[in-house]
Amino acid sequence: MSDAATSISRESRATRSARRLGHLGILPIVEIDDARQGEDLFEALCEGGVPAAEITLRTPEGALALERLITLHPDALLGAGTVRSLEDARRMIDIGVSFLVSPGTDEEVVVYGVERDVLVLPGVSTPSEVMRARKSGATLLKFFPAEAAGGVEMLKALAGPFPEVAFVPTGGISEGNLASYLRLATVVACGGSWLAPRELINAGRFEEISERTRRAKAIVEEERGGRDDNS
Ligand code: 3PG
């Protein structure tokens, strides 16, 4: 086996998910009211150049949509959002999600994700929370709610004591402020619902979702020198 092949086979699943997320630079956060919409939604995101989504557990159909999509696209970067308990984490890992995202930091959820080799992004918005999340074993943190918690300036301030900590900011991010977040060295990717809002999904406006995704992807490429590796 070549050196490169050996190092790929040694890469853990969680590390691979984090790397893929970083290469995409954006993460559509989706609320689904009808699991049957999942396939059209995912196709629209792929059309826009982003074969990834965080589907939240805020709606009863979210888990079902995820399960169906994972069966159809086992290699896609599909994760569960709004994971608020160990039970949610277990259920989602059992259906094969690539990652879990929580609004806050639940140590049990982080430890369980590490044990099962699934990327967990616990939510943080203060220095103490960053320290707690890191102590639990998290390597990538969701900075939430990004705009309300101080946005780009807060992330710059956190980079002082935590220069090595990687964040995925979400909450209030849009096409208008995406570039300002992507410019920060500690930002791996930005998440948000602006790419595929619930209203557009329910109205069947999938073209508009592809267009929004395409425009966001162009911003990522502009900020990151056209890197487009989703391997
Ligand atoms: C999240 O779950 O991270 C946020 O609800 C997404 O926030 P947004 O709707 O402002 O993008």
- The contacts of residue 197 (CB under 8 Å, 6+ apart) are none
Q: Is the pLDDT of residue 6 over 70?
A: no
Summarize the chain as % helix, strand, coil (round to 5).
45, 15, 35
- DSSP output for 35-82: GGGHHHHHHHHHHTT--EEEEETTSTTHHHHHHHHHHH-TTSEEEEE-
Structure letter (DSSP) for residue 21: H
pLDDT tens figures, 81-104 = 999 999 999 999 999 999 999 999
Instruction: List, for residues 142-180, the tens digit of each pLDDT value.
Output: 999 999 999 999 999 999 999 999 999 999 999 999 999
Based on DSSP, count helices (H) and strands (E) in the chain, helices before strands. Answer: 11, 9
> Domains of the chain, with CATH numbers?
11-220 (3.20.20.70)
- CA–CA distance, 39 with 37 (Å, rounded to integer): 6
- Among candidate residues 22, 6, 21, 45, the one with its CA nearest the CA of residue 194: 45
Query: Residue 55 in contact with residue 88, Cβ under 8 Å?
Result: no
Contact 120, 109 (CB under 8 A): yes
Instruction: Answer yes or no: are the C-beta atoms of 205 and 44 closer than 8 Å.
Output: no
Confidence at residue 227, expressed as pLDDT on a 0 to 100 scale:
47
User: Which residues have C-beta atoms less than 6 Å from ligand 1?
Assistant: 29, 81, 144, 170-173, 191-194
Atom from ligand 1 closest to the CA of residue 192: 11
Two tokens, residue 123: 């939510």
Pocket residue to mutate for ligand 1, from 99, 144, 147, 194, most atoms within 8 A of Cβ: 144
Q: For residue 68, how far is its CA from the centre of ligand 1 (angstroms)?
A: 23
> pLDDT band at 12, cuts 50/70/90?
very high
Atom of ligand 1 nearest to the CA of 54: 2
Q: What is the pTM of this model?
A: 0.92
Of the candidates 23, 141, 182, 14, the residue with the CA atom closest to the CA atom of residue 132: 141
CB neighbour list of residue 128: distance below 8 Å, 6 or more residues apart:
none
